[in-house]
Structure 1
């Protein structure tokens, strides 16, 4: 009789996402569930987003596959707890068409590039422990806050004038990369960035490059650029104003200021 395999040790989500392609077990609270879909091979898939105390935002996306619809997890409430055993974490690479807002050179080999593509990243939390009994949490998406809780180092602090020049709709992303990849790129350029990793670093959405990351210039009249600008102009003229796509239903009122 074959010996039954022991399940991997139960770990937290924050630790699980670091164990790429390794089997792990974890427990999470269901934050979001998408409608099940049938795959081309007739299997079924549903996508869940789960959180725990170590990874409250943005949460871990889990794709669950099964032979039948009935075998998929039966989630009744969005705060249900779910146990996964022998699942594998995989890195998801992204592709961006974006506008280069600002470039800061930390040293001869490394640059911090701030880019924009008109879309909204989900809110990210900044957790800063002030003492043994008090912690403060901030959430933001379309702005970069230069405060004591920010992950921006002294080399990447942006002046107030630069921050005010950024678009007021859409998320500004910070890209860390080797200077040789951006040696021909300057603020005001449109570029395509291939094979990137996106993650939350102390409350900031940050793009990290990989060994296969590539940077290509694109023209102002490229169809993708024109599409981004059309969407941007449409959002500016919308009655919803500058409210992020993820902020629905919208809050009863926002306090604004000139600068």
Structure 2
């Protein structure tokens, strides 16, 4: 650098004072700041021996050059065509440690998280026509989550200015430096406008950008990759401890505690039932929870959820509590990669890892559209409201009075617009309080117990009280008989040991009738309770022996259904022959709600049991 050139930065304030005394404004201050920044960056470049590197300068209005000294005008008038070029990804990968400009299509977005220092960071993957298969990763760093790219959908376009190419053991990637890099995000669809929906504060758009964006949109439309369902699991196929990919719709995002967020996602399918490992004796002091979050979601939020299909909770791993899950958007279809599935308290939970990635899908994505169509078909059917894993029918361990009422899901019951109503559903009894049948009756002989019911959509408490308990147990059987009944209901294998509190449980699907009511007129919705009525637990030895293969099933997917159905048909025929009161469902079903008031049936004790 010549001595004359070295004097330029020092002369700039004097020149500005001499030639722009009457034009002191925010614009001039901005120009001054930019000029000092440019000169400082040029010095860094020269020290690194990269004098041939492309220089980035913001264009200045020509009116500011008029009347300026020659050296000042030359300083401003650098060739805009030479210093503002986009490199193809394949060419940029050869420019290690160089500042380059890139434009590409976004295919993946890493979860935003807190770095080891004070910054927030995230990683996205982009492709272009030169590297459409593998693409390249871009690592972003910013002072806070809000300054990181917030991509609306996979397939959107990102413009990167003055990013640095870096080489690591894992390969070449791109570094976005918050000190001098800038970005802009554009919709990826053809015929969209050319205004970025997000841009960093240093970014300045140019008219010539429109051509690059338009060309990339055309290329994206002709090379658009469809969602490959074979690469992703649906919720009906998840397995504990398995790390896999998932396509789902984000229904809700909530903060469960400081720094920890929880997602509620759905794809219209039913997650498989799992075994219950809690002890029944612990149900009083440590009851099986109805949800994983400490505070249940409000009824207003639940009413926005679909009533068919499992709503899965997703949270971050304990060692990754600083993930920016709150930046995800409710109502969007998302594909997650590298997500773990765990069972907590008998409920499925997705775990996001530090290496988990996601991308938003357009609403008309093929896979998302198919999920929505499947849901709509289940909603229109009177039979598909029951869990898909109870195919072809729930175990006939219980009998109900209202055979002409169609089944509904527990989410239907939780979100029903009326407080007092009657329903028929298919559920699993995952817990009973008190834990032993000898305590099911009060000293006066009145039944009072609480069942924890679940289906793929929700988990609730339902009470059995008074005369409904007499009908449920078929009178007042002996304690040994009631133990066998409860073993059958809870899915406990029959052994010589009569203690059912220590055993793993795999409850079968059973049908029951529920009624809803409230116990506080001043808090109608907050005091809603549910009670079992019109349901009888069938406890005859020959019946429970015949259903042994159904109750003890290890997995719904591993059953050879032909012999099971054959045995089942024989059992039902025998039951029909010996029970004239047995009623089969015939013809179309009526609406699930029966008109009329339901008397207050809640327990009056302080524990409501």
The bucket for the TM-score relative to the shorter chain is: 0.5 to 0.7
Unaligned runs of 5+ in 2: 1-238, 418-609
121 and 91 in structure 1: CA distance in 2 versus 1, 3 angstrom threshold? closer
Displacement of 1:160 in angstroms is: 2.4
Compare CA radii of gyration and give the structure with the larger one: 2
* Residue 369 (structure 2) pairs with residue 220 (structure 1): no
Match of 1:230 in 2: 373
Displacement of 1:163 in angstroms is: 2.3
For 2:301, what is the secondary structure of its paired residue? helix
Displacement of 1:238 in angstroms is: 2.4
Displacement of 1:125 in angstroms is: 4.5
- What does the per-residue CA deviation read over 1:96-142, in whole Å, with 9 as the maximum and x for residues that have no partner? 111111111134532111100111111235554353xx769xxxxxx
Match of 2:249 in 1: 99
CA distance, structure 1, for counterparts of residue 337 and residue 407 of structure 2: 38
Displacement of 1:201 in angstroms is: 0.5
* Residue 311 (structure 2) pairs with residue 168 (structure 1): no
Whose helix fraction is larger, Structure 1's or Structure 2's?
A: 2
Query: How do 1:47-196 residues align onto structure 2 when only pairs under 5 Å count?
Result: 91-129=241-279, 131=281, 148-150=287-289, 152-154=292-294, 156-177=295-316, 178=321, 180-196=323-339
Match of 1:206 in 2: 349
CA distance, structure 2, for counterparts of residue 115 and residue 179 of structure 1: 20
Contact 1:181 1:215 in 2 (8 A): no
Displacement of 1:198 in angstroms is: 0.8
Contact 1:199 1:207 in 2 (8 A): yes
Contact 2:244 2:340 in 1 (8 A): yes
- What does the per-residue CA deviation read over 1:30-60, in whole Å, with 9 as the maximum and x for residues that have no partner? xxxxxxxxxxxxxxxxxxxxxxxxxxxxxxx
CA distance, structure 2, for counterparts of residue 179 and residue 221 of structure 1: 32
193 and 162 in structure 1: CA distance in 2 versus 1, 3 angstrom threshold? same
CA distance, structure 1, for counterparts of residue 269 and residue 358 of structure 2: 20
Contact 2:262 2:314 in 1 (8 A): yes
Contact 1:194 1:215 in 2 (8 A): yes
Whose strand fraction is larger, Structure 1's or Structure 2's?
A: 1
125 and 135 in structure 1: CA distance in 2 versus 1, 3 angstrom threshold? farther
Contact 1:118 1:170 in 2 (8 A): yes
247 and 130 in structure 1: CA distance in 2 versus 1, 3 angstrom threshold? closer
Contact 1:111 1:176 in 2 (8 A): yes
209 and 135 in structure 1: CA distance in 2 versus 1, 3 angstrom threshold? same
Give the TM-score, by structure 2 length: 0.24
Displacement of 1:171 in angstroms is: 0.5
Contact 2:332 2:360 in 1 (8 A): yes
Match of 2:385 in 1: 242
Runs of 4+ displaced beyond 6 Å: none
For 2:373, what is the secondary structure of its paired residue? helix
Give the TM-score, by structure 1 length: 0.53
CA distance, structure 2, for counterparts of residue 242 and residue 182 of structure 1: 31
CA distance, structure 1, for counterparts of residue 250 and residue 300 of structure 2: 16
Match of 1:33 in 2: none
For 1:162, what is the secondary structure of its paired residue? helix
Contact 2:337 2:357 in 1 (8 A): yes
RMSD: 2.9
- What does the per-residue CA deviation read over 1:223-244, in whole Å, with 9 as the maximum and x for residues that have no partner? 1111111111122122413112
Tell which has more relative contact order, 1 or 2 (C-alpha 8 A, sep 6+): 1
